[in-house]
Amino acid sequence: MPNDGTAICILSSISILSLPARLDGQAARYPNPALQQGTVDAAALGPAGRGFFEYLLADDVDWIASGGVALGGGMLRGSYGKSQVRRIYGLGYARRIAEKNLGLFGTWGTGVDLVAAYDDTKWWGYNSRAVRLAIPLSLRWGSPSRLSLSPYVTPYAEWGRAAFLHGGCAPTCPPSSLRTDATYSTGLGAGFQLTAWRLSLEVGMMGAPTHLNHYNSFIASGGLRWRF
């Protein structure tokens, strides 16, 4: 890797430690419901390969299926998620930025994962849409082409628009109404990738479940990925 790889890793570490968010990982506004995948793409954690297929289970959709092809040293991917009333379409790009071999401590590195999502739902009069940028910082033990484990933490930021219900909290409040608002959220995510040759287990979460009474205060997902 180039000499500036270590500097990029250090800057990524500083960005994580300097985030103004609490451990619950959320800013003042809610995360966008179009973003249902809690994992970062594996191409940001290590070698991308030529392509992949992946099947994930997530909180608010029954499943998410995705596939990708190698492009520009990273992975360009498309995804589709489904529940009884929701259809979520996604497009993303991820790649490894830098890594450094730490000997017995494993391989330390950082990457970038950018995703855009569109939520076509039957319930609301407006289809949510959003983009999210995540910069995972990971350690890898083992060989990425055989057996390996890669835990990571990632700062992330997301922006978009979605429809939310307002009001209706008590007799003195105004009647509830549906309004389209800008959404934003920043915070920390975490997860891991366990790889056995071409198959890997992916588990991750954006935010932390410390305020379960808040609508969509965190997202989590897990599934299997096949590389080719």
Predicted confidence (pLDDT) per residue in 87-143, tens digit? 999 999 999 999 999 888 899 999 999 999 999 886 667 889 999 999 999 999 998
Predicted confidence (pLDDT) per residue in 21-80, tens digit? 444 444 445 678 899 999 999 999 988 889 999 999 988 899 999 999 999 999 999 999
Whether the pLDDT of residue 18 is over 60: the answer is no
Q: Which residue, 48, 135, 123, 51, is CA-closest to 85?
A: 123
Higher confidence at residue 37 or residue 19?
A: 37
CB 87 within 8 A of CB 120: yes
The count of structural domains within the chain is 1
Q: How far, CA to CA in Å, does 202 sit from each of 42, 53, 127?
A: 8, 12, 28
**What confidence tier does 163 reach under pLDDT thresholds 50, 70, 90?**
confident
Residue with tokens 């997860």: 191
Query: Residue 52 carries which side chain, given as an amino acid letter?
Result: F
**Domain of 189?**
5-227
Q: What is the CATH number of the domain that holds 122?
A: 2.40.160.20
Q: Which residues pair with 118 in a beta bridge?
A: 89, 129
Give the mean pLDDT of 197-218: 74
Higher confidence at residue 131 or residue 15?
A: 131
Q: Which of 81-85, 152-156, 171-175 has the lowest mean pLDDT?
A: 171-175
Whether the pLDDT of residue 157 is over 50: the answer is yes
Give the mean pLDDT of 173-195: 79
Residue with tokens 């055989």: 146
pTM: 0.81
Q: Which residue, 134, 97, 106, 138, is CA-closest to 8?
A: 97
